[in-house]
Chain A
Amino acid sequence: MLEINNLHVKLEEDDKVILKGVNLTVEAGKVHAIMGPNGSGKSTLSYVLSGRDGYEVTDGSATLDGVELLEMEPEERAAAGLFLAFQYPVEIPGVGNMTFLRTAVNAQRKARGQEEMSAGEFLKVVREKAKALKIDAEMMKRPVNVGFSGGEKKRNEILQMAMLEPKMCILDETDSGLDVDAMKLVADGVNALRDAGRAFLVITHYQRLLDHIKPDVVHIMADGRIVKTGGPELALEVENNGYADILAEVL
């Protein structure tokens, strides 16, 4: 589904090279995890894939179902089925969470040539999905992410994901700032979306999220490259021994 080939990326601002030839294939129905020390390029990878400004792709490609992502505007990537759950979800004062979500859902439907969801239908679907994530009506009326706790922000990201029904979901350190209960809730939300037609790329520092969202494949990223790929046991190895051994072995 997602195919990244020899991706090289530098910062526009100071020419600093961040990604130095990333190769990665994520198949439909699978969950891949990327782990790695700070500064290895994990978050940059997620931003470049979703089209954030400030990065220059100097080589390589990234395709979603065979279509080149890197040429598209961020909203086109979203309409094509890519979703990024932000590590730091952004606050938008004055814009109701519900309004935001409905605008997003209908923008994507419109871009795909589908009919917009009626207000009634939308409300029905959103209420059901919000309930599963323990998001109450009051939180839907509050402005997007403003005054939300860390857990509320992350649950809100998962709600957006559930409503937008993307094919390819990238979760950027979704576990950061979550207590055990909140992490369980978020993981349940993600697991409920696992599907043969959908793939996940879970970026995390820690094994603990992967206890709840069981990955099929685990990659270790270091210094702008995927340096090792294995099964779920690789995450446990990191948890027990840290990155030093693995890095010493491959570099």
Chain B
Amino acid sequence: MAMDAEDQIELREGVDRETIETVQAMAGKYKHGWETEIETEYAPKGLNEDIVRLISEKNGEPQWMLDWRLAAFRRWQQMEEPRWAMLSYPEIDYQDQYYYAKPKSMAQKPKSLDEVDPKLLATYEKLGIPLKEQMLLAGVEGSDEPRKVAVDAVFDSVSVGTTFKEELKKAGVIFCSISEAIREYPELVQKYLGSVVPQSDNFFATLNSAVFSDGSFVYVPEGVRCPMELSTYFRINAENTGQFERTLIVADKGAYVSYLEGCTAPKRDTHQLHAAVVEIVILDDAEVKYSTVQNWYPGDENGKGGIYNFVTKRADCRGPRAKVMWTQVETGSAITWKYPSCILRGEGSQGEFYSIAIANNAQQADTGTKMVHLGKNTKSRIVSKGISAGRAQNTYRGLVSMHPKATNSRNYTQCDSLLIGDKCGAHTVPYIEVKNNSSRVEHEATTSKVDDDQLFYCRSRGMDEEEAVALVVNGFCKEVLQALPMEFAMEAQSLVAISLEGSVG
């Protein structure tokens, strides 16, 4: 077994080299900062009940969905924005933005990808996201045969298209946009929507419940192992527009699915709001892997522009032996507020959280996880790697809670922080509650600086300074990078390097 793990490391050897080339080719630029020029239809600026009704109408939703949204909106109006995170940003004017933006060419929902506006297709091609089914994710070295990855592409407020739908359907897997699911599979959506993250959960989740426009829906039926990786690629394009996507994943008994999520946005001088909700329901013996590479525009060196990323992600292990694994690489956004959580309800269920959070320049990240142990013999594992550079502030905030009935449960937490330079900060805020006598919680934390001796050693062997930093930081993150599917591991490695450009010297 140990050898297998080692072999995987070898496979990745070529990646490091590529990383470094990519870094040098890009010379410190956010590579997804371009904009697609496309005519866009906006809802009127601001937020009120009419906007909520309009979004619902645009999506052709049934009455129950509209009622649900309106209930959320009314509740949201009574709520206050949370301020407990270690984040400082000016007050957000929720009336000064658009809540719905859709390319005009999407006015008539295309029946197939062939009918999608070529400009939109070109956008995803430029991002390296294959929207044609014969195309596979580029550059997957080392695997014997290229793996198929189904993609749902979300552009501003709408889903542009979903690939491999038919092939997935044959296996019984439903993968489509959430707006389509609300129309086509209302009984499934009604049963599970809001059952993991309730409408009233928190300020941003409630806002999302009122105004979410699109997102992805996945249902894997009992006993089915999803035949390919599923992924959603989110792109914000329109200016002054928030993106509020909603993702719902249901793995029925004994099912398995691996899901990837990627995000980018153009460079803009103004901040943009992104408030997403992801709900995952995992029944008996089922397993879900959810990987994110979050690369929203981080703003410039002085903190001008960038995405405000307020995200609620939660998985509910409802049945015995259910398993969930969150892996996230957070390199983008001006502000990150995100705590993918695991509710370990089923007896013997397991939750894992692997995270790399990089904050450079003026970025701020407050991120972590919650492991809520409700069932007996439940297990959780947290591995968090925070990297701060420039003037950035990076906080790990995590809760491990062992409830009275969660006897014989275990948690292991490892939080490592790495500082580059002397103007940044790393903070670790663990909350631990244990309400029974038989459970065990372990917490290890380290904080270190990128060591001058390490950099000099690398440079004396011929690597330049940025190459050396990339190598040392990738080493620091290795455990998390290894948890990612191959397709994302490569992108993540190069992102780690790119996000840290200009952080030394």
Contact = CB atoms under 8 A, between A and B. Distances in A.
Contact of B459 (A78, A91, A105): A78
Contacts of B114: none
A116 B462 CA distance: 13
A52 interface: yes
B9 A141 contact: yes
Contact of A98 (B13, B20, B472): B13
Contacts of B6: 141
Interface string B447-464: 000011110111111111
A105 B16 CA distance: 13
A108 B462 contact: yes
Interface string A71-106: 001110111000110100111111110111011111
A64 to B, nearest CB: 14
B81 interface: no
Given A52-B456, A89-B457, A90-B454, A78 B462 contact: yes
B14 interface: yes
B14 A92 contact: no
A166 to B, nearest CB: 10
Q: Describe A's contact surface by its main secondary structure.
A: helix
Contact of A92 (B13, B464, B475, B477): B475
Interface string B462-478: 11110100011011111
A143 B454 CA distance: 13
A251 interface: no
A105 B454 CA distance: 17
A119 B13 CA distance: 9
B475 A93 contact: yes
A73 B464 CA distance: 9
Q: Describe B's contact surface by its main secondary structure.
A: helix
B9 A96 contact: yes
Interface string A106-117: 111001000010
Contacts of B17: 102-103, 106, 116
A53 interface: yes
A107 B13 contact: no
Given A79-B462, A89-B457, A160-B461, A103 B20 contact: yes
Contacts of B16: 99, 102-103
Interface residues of B, number: 32
Contacts of A91: 454
A174 interface: no
Given A92-B471, A93-B475, A95-B471, A75 B463 contact: yes
B10 interface: yes
Given A90-B453, A94-B475, A107 B10 contact: no
Interface in B7-62: 9-10, 12-14, 16-17, 20
A132 B475 CA distance: 28
Contacts of A84: 460
A164 interface: yes
A51 interface: yes
A87 B20 CA distance: 28
Contacts of B14: 119
Contact of A73 (B13, B459, B474): B459
Nearest to A117: B17
A72 to B, nearest CB: 11
Residue among A51, A53, A106, A116 having the largest count of chain B Cβ atoms under 10 Å: A106
B475 A95 contact: yes
B463 A104 contact: yes
A111 B456 CA distance: 17
Contacts of B463: 75, 103-104, 107
A209 to B, nearest CB: 21
A50 interface: yes
A111 B479 CA distance: 31
A160 to B, nearest CB: 6
20 contacts: A53-B456, A78-B461, A84-B460, A90-B457, A93-B475, A94-B474, A94-B476, A94-B479, A95-B475, A96-B9, A96-B13, A100-B458, A102-B16, A103-B16, A104-B458, A107-B463, A107-B467, A119-B14, A141-B9, A160-B461
Given A90-B456, A92-B475, A160-B461, 8 more contacts: A50-B460, A51-B456, A78-B459, A78-B460, A86-B460, A94-B479, A103-B471, A104-B462
Interface of B: 6, 9-10, 12-14, 16-17, 20, 451-454, 456-465, 467, 471-472, 474-479
